[in-house]
Structure 1
Amino acid sequence: MNSILAAVDWSKWSLWFSILSIAFNPIAWNIVARNEYRNKTLTRVFGDAKTGCYFLALMIFSFGILRDSLYHRALEDQPRSALLPEPYSTIVPLVLFVIGQTFVVTSTWTLGITGTFLGDYFGILMDHRVEGFPFNVLRDPMYVGSTMCFAAAALWYERPVGLLLTIYVYIVYLIALRFEGPFTDMIYSARATSKAESKKEL
């Protein structure tokens, strides 16, 4: 760890922009989504919940691309150092990237746009819990897959700073999940309670 820290040029602004962008995305979207759940701001602006959710999805996707671009710029501006011996320096990042992208893409395909991009905060709830691949392998495959891709880039470009940023990404995701998970559970619990009360009235 000391050798990795010693290989980081903390004076590069690109590094700090990357750090900020990594934290910004989950914080911003959690704030926007919770506001939507309570105040229906985007639903009112766009006229219906689905359009509002698609707008949020576009924003999340766009800022995700920006975050990835800033991460790659940060890697380019940092010292290079061999992290793995050949041929592992090529094989390992490729395997990590393929597996990570598989988790991300299949998660999105399985959940759909509204399921992936916080549709439940808009009142667009799924009928049942998704239990197929990749959710039968990991509880949060999209976050795990994204973290694997960060690690893959760090190893591919042989930038020690990328490993530190990967750890940081994972910590940010874990913190985000501490807020997202219980809130999502609350939304579905409220729906179940509402359905149960409706049946009683009948």
Structure 2
Amino acid sequence: MDPIFDIASSVDWSQYSLYFSLFSIAFNPTVWNIVARNEYHHKTITRVFGGSAKYGCYFLAVMIFGFGILRDSLYERALKDQPQRAILPEPFNVLVPAALFLVGQTFVITSTWALGITGTFLGDYFGILMDHRVEGFPFNVLRDPMYVGSTMCFAAGALWYERPAGLLITVYVYIVYILALRFEGPFTDMIYATRAAKTSSSKKEL
């Protein structure tokens, strides 16, 4: 039997928690990118906070973090509502998800540490730009370690709870992140290219 078909046949498609989880996974990167682009063009959040881009970015960081916790809770609920089936033999059913979660969280936490709050939570859209590109760990290993680490944690949850549905959700997470990066990456590059052009123009005037 085709492995993908085998996994799909083990999914209880009647559970609403599955669809709530899928919605929240797509909601987060989609909405935050829309909000951040609006902020770049119109400074909506900055104006709400009296012109403070820093406080506006912190507010968005709290919102993103909070909705991330909600997303993870909905994913866990969805997994528990799905049929359980052994995916890996012992002791790999414990060792593999534990290793995936550890490595995934390492990528997420070290990314946040390296970028800082404003660097992590779309501060560049607020005009809070970093002085130079972060090239240390984990960015010297992966281009997008935060998204990769998050995907690994989703896979770890699926394997830990032994829910085949979680593996399909993990594939969905990966696809959502790839699509988000297609919009986020070029726009961020444009922001820094614009700054570089302005800096170069200022130097020529001097």
Q: What TM-score results when the alignment is normalised by the length of structure 2?
A: 0.98
Partner of 1:15: 18
Q: Deviations over 1:79-133 (max 9, x none)?
A: 0000000000000000000000000000000000000000000000000000000
TM-score (norm. length: structure 1): 1.00
CA RMSD of the aligned region, Å?
Answer: 0.4
Does residue 132 in structure 1 map to residue 136 in structure 2? yes
Corresponding pairs, count: 202
Which runs of 4 or more aligned residues in structure 1 lie more than 4 Å from their structure 2 counterparts after TM superposition?
Answer: none
Choose which of 44, 69, 74 in structure 2 pairs with 1:41. Answer: 44
Q: Which amino acid aligns with 2:35?
A: V
Q: Provide the secondary structure at the position in 2 that maps to 1:78.
A: coil
Identity of aligned residues (%): 76
Aligned match of 2:181: 177
Structure 1 match to 2:149: 145
Query: For 2:31 and 2:68, how far apart are their aligned partners in 1?
Result: 12
**Which position in structure 2 is the counterpart of 1:2?**
5
Which residue of the partner structure matches residue 115 of structure 2? 111
Report the Cα distance in structure 2 between the residues aligned to 1:27 and 1:110, rounded to whole angstroms.
24
Q: Which runs of 5+ in 2 are unaligned?
A: none
User: Of 60, 68, 83, which residue of structure 1 is paired with 2:87?
Assistant: 83
Partners of 1:22 and 1:137 lie apart in 2 by 25
Residue segments in structure 1 that go unaligned for 5+ positions in a row: none
1:184 Cα shift?
0.2
**Cα-to-partner distance string for 1:124-164 (whole Å, 9 max, x where unaligned):** 00000000000000000000000000000000000000000
AA aligned opposite 1:80: Q
Structure 2 counterpart SS, 1:158: coil
* Distance in 2 (alpha carbons) for counterparts of 1:12 and 1:185: 41
Aligned-partner residue type, residue 71 of structure 2: R
2:190 is matched with which residue: 186, 189, 201? 186
What is the CA-CA distance between 1:200 and the residue it aligns to?
1.1
